Structure 1
Amino acid sequence: MGTVKAVCISEIRGTQKTNVKTAKFAVNHGIVGDAHGGNWHRQVSLLSYEKIEAFQKEGADVTPGAFGENMIVEGFDFSSIAIGTRFQCNDVILQLTQHGKQCHTHCQIYDKMGKCIMPTEGTFAEIIQGGTISVGDKLIQLEDRDERFTAAVITLSDSGFAGKREDKSGLILSAILKEKGYCIVEYLILPDEQSQIEEELIRLSDKREVNLIVTTGGTGFSPRDCTPEATLAVATRNAPGIAEAIRLHSMKITNRAMLSRGASVIRGKTLIVNLPGSPKAVKESMECIADQLPHGLNVLLGKVSNCARS
C-alpha cells in the first residue's frame, strides 16, 4: 500500500505542474484540468516519493510537479513494476502503460544537476475507472490484470505516412491480431526512415513492454525499404525461423516470395516480426505463423518452458 503525497497539474503545456492536492480523474482522459490529459496511453504520470527524496539529497531543490509528474506516491517503486499492473485509489483504477520517456530538450533540473529522474523513473498510466484522488489517500496494487498478450502494429510506408494511400494492410493486421485475442496497444504509420523505425521499436519494447510488434511494409528491394535493417539493428537475439517460415509458406503461392527480406527478432521480452506490405501477403503470413506465436511468447516471457518431442 502506498500514500499519495501530491496531486499535480498544469493548465498549459510547457509550464511546471503545481500541487492542487485533490483532483478528478476521468476515463479516456486523465486528470481533469491537466493540459497533458487526453485519449492516449500517457494520461497520468507517476513518480515514487522515495526517488524524489533521494534526488533531493544529491542537492536538488524541487517542489511537487517540478518533473512534470501528476502523482507522487510513497511506498511504490513504479519503475520496477510490470506494465499492465493495476492500482486503485478510492474509486479510481489506473493501469501502468509505459516506463520512462524520452526528453527531447533538457529541463532546468537537468541543467542544474546534470540529470533528471523523470526519463528513467517516471511511469505512465491510463484511467480504467474514474473518481477523485487527494493527498493522503491510500493507493493499493491490485492482483487482477489483463492477461492478454499485448501487440503493436506498425505500417512502414512513405505514401501512407503522407496520407496519400489508405493503410489497408495495417488495419487488416490489427483485425487479425484482435481476433486472435491480442490487446492492440498502439497502431502506427511511419515513413521509411530507419532511425525513426528503430526509435519506435525501442520505445515499444523497452518502455511500453509490448509482447509482440508486427510490422508491414518496407521489406522489399526498393532503396527506401529499410524495415529489416532497423529491426536487426535493435535486436538482442535473432529469431530467424519465423521469417523463414513465412517465406517458405509464401513460396507455395508465388515465387516472388523469395524477394522478401523480412526479419524476425527478439528485443528483451518483445518479439518483432516483419511482414510484407500487401494486404494479401499480410493475411497469408499471419495464416502461417499465428498458431505458433502464443507458445513462443509464453516461452519468451517465462510462462512455459520449451517442450521437446521424443
Structure 2
Amino acid sequence: MIEGTVKAVCTSEKKGTAKQPRQKAVFRPAWGIEGDAHAGAWHRQVSLLSFDKVQAFRQEGAEVVDGDFGENLLVSGIDFRSLAVGSLCCSGEVVLRISQIGKECHHGCLIFQRMGHCIMPREGVFATVLHGGTIEVGMPMQVYEEYRAYILCSSDRSFANLREDAGTPLLKKRLEAAGFSVVGTALLPDDRSRLAQAMAEVCDSYQADILVTTGGTGLSLRDVTPEATLDIAHRQVPGLAELMRSRCLAITERAALSRGVCATRNQTLIVNLPGSPKAAVENLEALLPVLDHGLSMLEGRSGDCAETFQTTK
C-alpha cells in the first residue's frame, strides 16, 4: 500500500479549460465528479496527477496553479505514473480504479507553448469511480496495487472473550504472504442478522476485493455464517466451495461436514472458511491458485477498457 495526501480538488464546467480549485467534490459511481465536464460513462472519469511532479515542474520556472493541467486531484506522496492499470485509489469512501496511464499530448496547450513540454501527458493518470463519496483537500489517499482482503470471525466464545481468536492472525499471515493486503478484521457472535449486516457493509462500501469469514460453518444450531452469507449474496460461486471441500477431504473426512458457501455481492467475493484455524488455512490454500483469475473477472480487470489503455494514447 502507498499513502499520500490530497493537495487539491479541481473541476471545470467545460472541456479544454483549466480546472478551478475547490475545497471538496462529490464523486458518483460509474460517472465521475459532479459538475465536472469530464464526468460520464467512459473510462476517463477522473484525472490524477502527482503534486510532487508539479512542484518539480514549477522549479523549472513554470508558473502553474492547481488545475492548470486539467487534473481533478493533485496528491502528494504518490507517483501515479509508476502504478499499473487496475490499481485502486481510496480516499474516504471514494474508491477509484486506474484505467489509463498518460494521454496524447495537445501541442497547442498554453503550458506546452510556454515551457516546451507538459508533464500531464506522461505523468497524469485517469480513473473510473467504483464507489462514490466526497473527497476534500487534506484527506489521505491509499493506493493498492494488490488485492484487498477483509477477515470476519464468527464465534460466540471468542466474542465473549472465552476463547482466543487464533484463526484471524493465521489467515492474515497467509493472505499477506500470498500478496493480499489485509485492510480490516472483525469479530462477531454467531448472530445471523449481525453477520449479514457486517458483510453487506464491507461489500457495499467496496472495502475489500475478498471477504473471508471464519467460523459458523458446521452443524451446530448456532452455526449460521452460510445462511447470513446467502441472505446478502447476489450470486453463488459453488465451484469454489466444492474445491475447498474436495481438497480438504484428502486431509480429513470431517471436511464433508462443512456447510461453507462462496458468493459475490457487487464486486466483492465472499468465502466461508471453517472455524478451526488449521482447517481455515487449509481451505484457503485450496483456493489461492484460482483467486487471482476469479477476482480479475469479478472486478472487470480482464477484458475491460483498462487493458486497452495501458500504453499512452
- Whether these two folds match at TM > 0.5 is yes
**What letter corresponds to residue 98 of structure 1 in structure 2?**
E
Maintained 8 Å contact 2:152/2:212: yes
Q: Is the 8 A contact 1:265 1:273 kept in 2?
A: yes
Q: 1:149 deviation in Å?
A: 0.8
Distance 1:160 1:239 in 2: 29
Question: How many Å separate the matches in 1 of 2:135 and 2:185?
Answer: 18
Structure possessing the higher relative contact order (Cα contacts under 8 Å, 6 or more residues apart): 2
Q: 1:49 to 1:227 in 2, by over 3 A?
A: closer
Whether the 8 Å contact between 2:91 and 2:140 is mirrored in structure 1 is no
Q: Which one of 166, 173, 176 corresponds to residue 175 of structure 1?
A: 173
C-alpha distance after superposition, 1:76-95 (max 9, x if no partner)? 98xx999xx99854748783
1:302 aligns with 2:300: yes
Looking at structure 2, the residues matched to 202 and 5 of structure 1 have their Cα atoms a distance apart, in angstroms, of 33
For residue 126 of structure 2, what is the aligned residue in structure 1? Answer: none
In structure 2, the CA distance between the partners of 1:49 and 1:204, relative to structure 1 (3 Å rule), is closer
Q: Residue 27 of structure 2 contacts residue 133 of structure 2 at CA under 8 Å; is this kept in 1?
A: no
Q: Structure 1 residues 181 and 90, CA, compared in 2 at 3 Å: closer, same or farther? A: closer
Structure 2 residue corresponding to 1:48, chosen from 21, 26, 36: 26
For the structure 1 residues 123 and 155, does the alpha-carbon distance in structure 2 shift closer, same or farther, using more than 3 Å as the test? farther
- Shift in CA distance, 304/128, structure 1 to aligned 2, threshold 3 Å: closer
- Aligned-pair CA distance for 1:208: 2.7
* Residue among 113, 133, 140 paired with 1:127: 140
Superposition pairs of residues 201-212 of structure 1, within 5 angstroms: 201-212=199-210
Check conservation: 1:154, 1:190, Cα contact below 8 A.
Answer: yes
Alignment of 1:257-296 (within 5 A): 257-296=255-294
CA distance in 2, matches of 1:254, 1:177: 23
What per-residue deviation string (whole Å, max 9, x for no partner) do you get for residues 157-190 of structure 1?
A: 1121222221110111111111111111111111
Q: Which has the larger radius of gyration?
A: 2
The reply on whether 1:184 has 2:182 as its aligned counterpart is: yes
CA distance in 2, matches of 1:187, 1:165: 17
**Offset, 1:48:** 2.5
Match of 2:91 in 1: 96
SS at match of 2:227: helix
Distance 2:94 2:284 in 1: 30
Deviation (angstroms), 1:99: 5.1
Which residue of 1 is the match for residue 211 of structure 2? 213
Separation in 1, partners of 2:253, 2:243: 14
Tell me how far 1:123 sits from its aligned partner.
3.9
Alignment of 1:232-243 (within 5 A): 232-243=230-241
Provide the C-alpha distance between the structure 2 equivalents of 1:90 and 1:298, rounded to a whole number of angstroms: 27
The answer as to whether partners of 1:4 and 1:73 remain within 8 angstroms in 2 is no
The answer to whether the Cα contact below 8 Å between 2:93 and 2:132 also exists between their aligned partners in 1 is no
| TM-score, normalised by the number of residues in structure 2 | 0.58
- The TM-score with structure 1 as length reference comes to 0.58
1:274 is aligned with what amino acid? N
Deviation at 1:122, TM superposition (A): 3.5
Secondary structure, counterpart of 2:144 in structure 1: coil
What is the rounded CA distance, in whole Å, between the counterparts of 1:95 and 1:210 in structure 2? 11
Superposition deviation, residue 151 in structure 1: 0.9
Q: Provide the secondary structure at the position in 2 that maps to 1:292.
A: helix
Amino acid at match of 1:155: C
Structure 2 Cα separation of the partners of residues 303 and 49 of structure 1: 21
Q: Which string of whole-angstrom CA distances, capped at 9 and with x for unpartnered residues, describes residues 11-50 of structure 1?
A: xxxxxxxxxxxxxxxxxxxxxxxxxxxxxxxxxxx65299
Output one character per residue of 1:110-158: Cα deviation in whole Å (capped at 9) or x when no partner.
xxxxxxxxxx9644796259xxxxxxxxxxxxxxx42211110111111
Note the residue ranges of structure 2 that are not aligned, 5 or more in a row: 1-9, 12-19, 50-71, 79-88, 96-130, 304-313
**Which amino acid in the other structure matches residue 304 of structure 1?**
S
1:160 aligns with 158
TM-align CA RMSD: 3.5
Once residues 291 and 27 of structure 2 are traced to their aligned partners in structure 1, the CA distance between those partners, rounded to angstroms, is 40
What's the secondary structure of 1:203's corresponding residue? helix
The number of equivalent residue pairs is 209
